[in-house]
Amino acid sequence: MTHTVIIRHPRERRSKCSLTPLEERAEYEFLVWSRDLVFDATGYTVLGVDAPPISVADQGRPLLVLDGTWRLLADIEQAVAGEPVRRSIPSGVRTAYPRVSRYGTDPEGGLASIEALFVAKAMLGEWDPSLLEDYRWGEAFLADLPEEIRAHSL
């Protein structure tokens, strides 16, 4: 299993956070962002937007997920140091989360953190529906996945 570090913004409400159920799993390490946090992401695959899509070629590197609202993402990005490999989620994946942004800051194609993590791990050859067990919209998300992603479940 790919070791995954999640840097969460402290203003992300844990009660609403889609990644909270993963806190007890050994392969996930949670850090809380602060202005003093510096995370050397050299050798990590960092999920973001405007980067080449993640693929099986990215296997072997640990994964870094930045968790917070889109509006707060710039704060978390400041903690990322070093030379990570930036990757995005393949196009065509749509969120099942009923998004409402008061600020209009959600990018087109943006996903809930658990959705992005699920797809990234699937593309790395780790199809794990248990990630979505506690996600209210998990079944709808799985049902709507493009065939390109589903192919990794075999």
* pLDDT score for 105: 46
Of 50 and 103, the one with more pLDDT: 50
Each residue's pLDDT tens digit, 86-132: 999 998 999 987 765 555 444 455 789 999 999 999 999 999 999 99
Q: Say yes or no to pLDDT of 17 above 90.
A: no
Report the mean per-residue pLDDT for the chain: 89
| 61-89 per-position pLDDT tens digit | 999 999 988 788 889 999 999 999 999 99
Averaged over 36-59, what is the pLDDT? 95
Residue spans of the domains in the chain: they are 4-153
Predicted TM-score of the model (pTM): 0.90
The rounded distance, in Å, linking the Cα atoms of 29 and 38 is 15
Q: What is the pLDDT of residue 16?
A: 72
